[in-house]
């Protein structure tokens, strides 16, 4: 048994494949969906998405959105933005993070809604950074093994 996973954003389809399990960050905490899960709709939080297929794990990062598990082992992730770990560039994230933080400081006392938006933005960038960092360390470990 396997899951049919689809990760879509308004701009594109990021991922579409059959996988063994999906781990995502929802508002209620981290959940892992395995084949045979009951139908579920959950709100997603900015965070890491781990996809396991044939023993190998893939990392993606998604911002807020929804996770829908349908009967028939179908999982649909509707995210505002989503990237594969390979697509992340640390320097860019660093910049975006700085910008978000600045924006947050500017709006702190001025505009509550804009402050919340900036905070959400920062959260997203932090999630992206986490995934990118992890991916980097994995890559480095792999390289070290090869060197040995």
Q: Which residues bind another protein (CB under 8 A)?
A: 6, 8-13, 26-28, 38-43, 64-66, 68, 70-72, 76, 78, 80-81
Task: Tell me whether residue 36 or residue 72 sits nearer to another protein (CB atom).
Answer: 72
| Smallest gap from residue 54 Cβ to another protein (A) | 25
d(CA 42, CA 69): 9
| Smallest gap from residue 133 Cβ to another protein (A) | 24
Task: Tell me whether residue 7 or residue 51 sits nearer to another protein (CB atom).
Answer: 7
Closest CA to 104 of 121, 81, 86, 87: 121
| Smallest gap from residue 1 Cβ to another protein (A) | 17
d(CA 20, CA 64): 23
| Smallest gap from residue 112 Cβ to another protein (A) | 14
| Smallest gap from residue 113 Cβ to another protein (A) | 10
d(CA 148, CA 68): 44
Task: Tell me whether residue 70 or residue 139 sits nearer to another protein (CB atom).
Answer: 70
Task: Tell me whether residue 69 or residue 131 sits nearer to another protein (CB atom).
Answer: 69
**Strand, coil or helix: what is 9?**
coil
Q: Determine the length of the chain.
A: 148
The four Cα atoms 78, 81, 83, 87 give a dihedral, to 10 degrees, of 160
Task: Tell me whether residue 8 or residue 53 sits nearer to another protein (CB atom).
Answer: 8
- CB-hemisphere CA count at 13 Å for 48? 18
């Amino acid at each position: 048994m396997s899951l049919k996973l689809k990760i879509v954003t308004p701009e594109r389809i990021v991922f579409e494949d059959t996988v063994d399990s999906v781990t995502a960050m929802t508002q209620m905490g981290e959940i892992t969906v395995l084949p045979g899960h009951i139908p579920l709709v959950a709100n997603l939080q900015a965070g890491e998405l781990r996809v396991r297929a044939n023993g190998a794990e893939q990392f993606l990062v998604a911002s807020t959105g929804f996770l829908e598990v349908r009967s028939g082992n179908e999982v649909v992730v509707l995210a505002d933005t989503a990237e594969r770990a390979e697509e992340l560039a640390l320097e860019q994230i660093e910049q975006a993070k700085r910008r978000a933080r600045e924006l947050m400081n500017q709006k702190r006392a001025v505009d509550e809604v804009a402050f919340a938006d900036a905070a959400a933005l920062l959260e997203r960038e932090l999630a992206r950074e986490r995934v990118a960092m992890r991916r980097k360390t994995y890559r480095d470990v792999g390289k070290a093994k090869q060197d040995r």
